């Protein structure tokens, strides 16, 4: 809310602290969405921080911040218009029909029967669709361990789900 600017970070921090609520309210009035207003406020403050060293002592910071905010809101609105999804007349064909509920329940029950390491490897690799390296990183183990745990888990699942397997 200060009428003049200085080139120090402390002065910017003071200005940002005093003005954030006002910028946020104005942003909300521009877009009528809380999350978008938060993003606009953050972007405005970042742009203001970048320009801070170039602003002279005679600059009206509130007017400058409003100008940056309005331009940022317009830019964001234009970006959203360009990203707009288009509707189509009909859905594309589904390559694989969805699994029957009974099959899904059977797979879930079989997964629960796996030891925790095998279950984690199978779920991360094949349900979460992570790469071998990502799975190893999540499990904090070597890639070879993920390979063997996943192979053992898949073999056990095949056995559990085979028609001749008894559930007793």
The pLDDT of residue 58: 85
DSSP 55: -
The pLDDT of residue 126: 87
Which of the four pLDDT bands, split at 50, 70 and 90, describes residue 5? Answer: very low
Q: Compute the average pLDDT of residues 130-157.
A: 94
Number of H helices, E strands in the chain: 7, 0
pLDDT digits (tens, 9 = 90+) for 40-82: 999 999 999 999 888 878 889 999 999 999 999 988 888 877 7
* Domains of the chain, first to last: 9-82 (1.10.1740.10), 101-161 (1.10.10.10)
The pLDDT of residue 150: 95
pLDDT over threshold 90, residue 120: yes
Which of the four pLDDT bands, split at 50, 70 and 90, describes residue 6? Answer: very low
d(CA 84, CA 75) in angstroms, rounded, equals: 14
d(CA 163, CA 138) in angstroms, rounded, equals: 34
The model's pTM = 0.46
């Amino acid at each position: 809310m200060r009428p003049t600017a200085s080139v120090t970070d402390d002065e910017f921090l003071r200005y940002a602290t005093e003005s954030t609520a006002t910028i946020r309210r104005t942003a909300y009035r521009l877009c009528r969405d809380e999350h978008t207003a938060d993003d606009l406020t953050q972007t405005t403050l970042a742009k203001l921080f970048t320009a801070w060293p170039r602003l002279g002592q005679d600059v009206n910071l509130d007017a400058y911040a409003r100008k940056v905010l309005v331009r940022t809101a317009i830019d964001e609105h234009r970006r959203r218009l360009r990203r707009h999804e288009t509707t189509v007349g009909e859905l594309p064909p589904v390559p694989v029909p969805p699994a029957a509920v009974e099959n899904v329940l059977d797979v879930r029950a079989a997964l629960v029967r796996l030891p925790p390491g095998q279950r984690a490897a199978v779920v991360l690799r094949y349900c979460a669709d992570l790469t071998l390296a990502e799975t190893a990183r999540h499990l904090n183990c070597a890639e070879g361990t993920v390979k063997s745990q996943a192979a053992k888990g898949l073999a056990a699942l095949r056995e559990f789900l085979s028609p001749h397997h008894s559930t007793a």
